[in-house]
């Protein structure tokens, strides 16, 4: 996590914006208070609207892409206690911890191996899996954790989906070839008659001949 500093240049604010989904998360990323971040983010003009600021550009009033549990205060244990093994994590959701690690800037929201970080347009999510390097899903030490995209997880760790899930996704369907019906237009018939082709190629029979080709 970047070291807190008194002054933030435009590049600091933009880096925090690229790495987070809200202004509050951006302030945590920079290691400063929300009010301090807000003051500096409002000093720089938005890249999208010259009449707005970077602070306004990064507003996320509907929490787009942020799991609802991240907005619930007082119900989640301190993340540091989980990472240091001070709490039994058997009943914790790895998915929730993953998003907390991202929101608090402890893990970059991108694939550790290839750097993939594209977001789905429908819900703004990035397809990333939390991988435990030592295969122990109770070990939440930060050095034991990494985020992998589906492709890198498949290439380096294991299958992302079971065979049954893949069959369900692909939904195998046997496509039967359909017979193509041909029909000569009156213009085509006229042109063929003008060529004076042998009688064996009677215009009236050409539709049948073509359809069998």
In a domain, 68, yes or no: no
The answer to whether residues 107 and 139 belong to one domain is yes
The answer to whether residues 82 and 160 belong to one domain is yes
Q: What is the pLDDT of residues 162-197, one digit of tens each?
A: 888 888 888 755 444 445 455 667 776 676 666 655
The answer to whether residues 159 and 203 belong to one domain is no
Secondary structure, 3-state, the chain? CCCCCCCCCHHHHHHHHHHCCCHHHHHHHHCCCHHHHHHHHCCCECCCCCCCEHHHHCCCCCCCCCCHHHHCCCCCCCHHHHHCCCCCCCCCCHHHHHHHHHHCCCCCCCCCCCCCCCCCCCCCCCCEEEEECCCCCCCCCHHHEEEEEHHHHHHHCCCCCCHHHHHHHHCCCCCCCCCCCCCCCHHHHHHHHHCCCCHHHCHHHHHHHHHCC
> Which residue is listed with tokens 């380096």?
156
Q: Which domain holds residue 188?
A: 179-213
Q: What is the pTM of this model?
A: 0.48
The answer to whether residues 116 and 150 belong to one domain is yes
The answer to whether residues 162 and 206 belong to one domain is no
Q: What is the pLDDT of residues 65-75, one digit of tens each?
A: 655 544 444 45
Lowest mean pLDDT among 113-117, 135-139, 196-200: 196-200
Q: Which residue has the higher pLDDT, 207 or 110?
A: 110
In a domain, 65, yes or no: no
Q: What is the pLDDT of residues 146-156, one digit of tens each?
A: 999 999 999 99
Q: Treating both helix axes as pointing N-terminal to C-terminal, what angle do 186-194 and 203-211 enclose, rounded to 10 degrees?
A: 110
Query: In this predicted structure, what is the pLDDT of residue 177?
Result: 45
Structural domain count of the chain: 3
Query: In this predicted structure, what is the pLDDT of residue 94?
Result: 86
The answer to whether residues 82 and 158 belong to one domain is yes
The answer to whether residues 85 and 160 belong to one domain is yes
In a domain, 70, yes or no: no
The answer to whether residues 162 and 85 belong to one domain is yes
The answer to whether residues 81 and 160 belong to one domain is yes
- The dihedral built from the CA positions of residue 121, 122, 125 and 129, taken in this order, carries a sign that is negative
Query: In this predicted structure, what is the pLDDT of residue 1?
Result: 43
The answer to whether residues 137 and 97 belong to one domain is yes
Q: Is the pLDDT of residue 204 over 80?
A: no
Query: In this predicted structure, what is the pLDDT of residue 144?
Result: 93
Q: Which residue has the higher pLDDT, 162 or 90?
A: 162
The answer to whether residues 155 and 103 belong to one domain is yes
Token pair in block for residue 195: 């060529």
Lowest mean pLDDT among 79-83, 95-99, 111-115, 137-141: 79-83
Lowest mean pLDDT among 22-36, 115-129, 161-175: 161-175
In a domain, 210, yes or no: yes
Percent of the chain with pLDDT over 70: 72
């Amino acid at each position: 996590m970047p070291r807190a500093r008194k002054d933030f240049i435009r590049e600091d604010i933009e880096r925090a914006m690229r790495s987070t989904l809200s202004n509050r998360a951006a302030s945590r990323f920079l290691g400063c208070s929300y009010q301090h971040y807000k003051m500096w983010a409002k000093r720089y003009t938005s890249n999208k609207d010259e009449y707005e600021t970077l602070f306004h550009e990064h507003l996320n009033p509907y929490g787009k892409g942020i799991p609802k549990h991240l907005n619930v205060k007082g119900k989640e244990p301190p993340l540091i206690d989980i990472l240091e093994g001070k709490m039994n994590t058997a009943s914790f959701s790895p998915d929730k911890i993953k998003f907390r690690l991202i929101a608090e800037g402890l893990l970059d929201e991108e694939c550790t191996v290839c750097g993939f970080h594209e977001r789905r347009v429908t819900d703004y999510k990035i397809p990333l899996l939390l991988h435990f390097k030592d295969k122990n899903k109770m070990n939440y030490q930060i050095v034991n954790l990494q985020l992998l995209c589906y492709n890198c997880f498949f290439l380096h760790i294991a299958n992302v989906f079971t065979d049954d899930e893949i069959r369900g996704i692909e939904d195998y369907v046997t496509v039967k070839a359909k017979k193509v019906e041909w029909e000569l237009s009156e213009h085509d018939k006229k042109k063929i008659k003008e060529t004076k082709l042998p009688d064996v190629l009677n215009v009236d029979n050409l539709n049948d001949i073509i359809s069998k080709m």
